[in-house]
Amino acid sequence: MKKTAVLIGVLALGACVEETVDGRQAFMEDCAACHGADARGSGEFGEMLIKQPPDLTTLAARNGGTFPTDYVMSTIDGFHRDGSFSAAMPEFGAGDMGETIMVGATPVPARLWALASYLQSIQREAE
């Protein structure tokens, strides 16, 4: 019973922290310069790069209609990097991603979760 109460308390605290992070605002601060305010890859800085940033609004469409949450978070964090990534893509996990919240049984930085949630909310069909 005591463990259940502690877990409920931690989840409630995580929910409170999550609400204080605005995913859209975090995107505008951290990502829009390259990916564009519309997340379609046309930011002012991104247009100057050799490799253009991808359209982040079609991630689900390019993944069989399912938003790849784990992939997105590991990419933003910097955990997943392969030869397809530009060196211009920051490893945001190396900095301060904010307080940790519980997503299910997994601790996740609140800013990272907010960014992934925002990206999921703006998905559209590929053209």
Domain range summary for the chain, segments of one domain joined by +: 2-121
3-state secondary structure 42-88: CCCCHHHCCCCCCCHHHCCHHHCCCCCHHHHHHHHHCCCCCCCCCCC
| CATH number listed for the domain at residues 2-121 | 1.10.760
Q: pLDDT means per 10 residues in the chain (127 residues)?
A: 42 49 96 96 92 94 96 91 80 88 93 97 87
Q: What is the pLDDT of residues 62-94, one digit of tens each?
A: 999 999 999 999 999 988 777 777 788 888 988
pLDDT value at position 86? 79
Q: Is the whole-model pTM more than 0.85?
A: no
